[in-house]
Chain A
Amino acid sequence: MAVDRLESLLRDAFPNAPELRVEDRTGGGDHFQVTVSSPRFDGLALLEQHRLVNDALAEPLRDGTIHELRIKTKGTT
């Protein structure tokens, strides 16, 4: 399932995330809300935080798995 695939990609990119969630917003398997808090975000601007998430999900973004992506990121400090 797409949610599991996204979650595992994010787990690989943010192994120490105290909070990591992928929600299927519409139930259609292509509109997602991603919530990640990670020490990797500490000290980074919002743009760079989202860039890290986009990078982690580059493959499903490219192959059309993700039709719409909402991102919420938080540092841990």
Chain B
Amino acid sequence: MSEISERIKDVIENEPVALFMKGTPQFVMCGNSGRVLEALRAAGAPVAAVDILPDPSIRQELSELSGWPTIPQLFVKGELVGGADITQELAETGELRKILENKLGTDYGDGAEERVVDVLSGTRA
């Protein structure tokens, strides 16, 4: 397995809420990524975001790991929740909060913050 693939796997497995997106929470580069981010913000979730744009191999390796072809991709506790449409639909029905509570505990939002994880260098800012 490539180094990038290992780092992506590490993010998916170890970040409670991992969002692979185009751009960063501070600078969203795609409407669909923005929709997921807004849904997560509304639910008060902690978000570890990975920008897939800097290197095409990030997206390739991610889709290989997840079996999901499009971006964004949202994972909660290592499990793929879905892309933008699914996440938005789950948010509208209140299901997203339930998933977060079930997987992370009802206090999942305590001290929630947004972070950016760089899978190219392996640093977490």
- Residues of chain A at the chain B interface (Cβ within 8 Å): 46-47, 50-51, 54, 58, 61-62, 68-72
B86 in the interface (beta carbon within 8 A): yes
The yes or no answer to B90 lying at the interface (CB within 8 A) is yes
Q: Could you show 17 A-B contacts with beta carbons less than 8 Å apart?
A: A46-B86, A46-B89, A46-B90, A47-B80, A47-B82, A50-B83, A50-B86, A51-B68, A54-B68, A54-B69, A61-B70, A68-B32, A68-B70, A70-B32, A70-B84, A71-B83, A71-B85
A61 to B80, CA, bound (A): 19
Majority DSSP secondary structure for residues of B touching A: mixed
A33 to B82, CA, bound (A): 16
Q: Which residues does chain B contribute within 8 Å of A46, judged by CB atoms?
A: 82, 86, 89-90
A58 to B68 Cα, complex, angstroms: 10
Contact of A54 with B70 in the complex, beta carbons under 8 Å: yes
Count of B residues near A, CB < 8 Å? 15
In the assembled complex, which residues on chain B have CB atoms less than 8 Å from the CB atom of A51?
Answer: 67-68
B85 near A47: Cβ-Cβ < 8 Å: no
Contact, CB under 8 Å: A47 / B86: yes
Return the chain A residue nearest B31 by Cβ. A68
CA distance A73 to B20 in the complex (A): 23
Chain A residue nearest to B87 in the complex (CB): A46
In addition to A47-B80, A68-B30, A70-B85, 8 A-B residue pairs with Cβ atoms within 8 Å of each other are A46-B86, A47-B81, A47-B86, A50-B82, A50-B85, A62-B69, A71-B83, A71-B85
Give Cα A46 to B85, complex, Å.
10
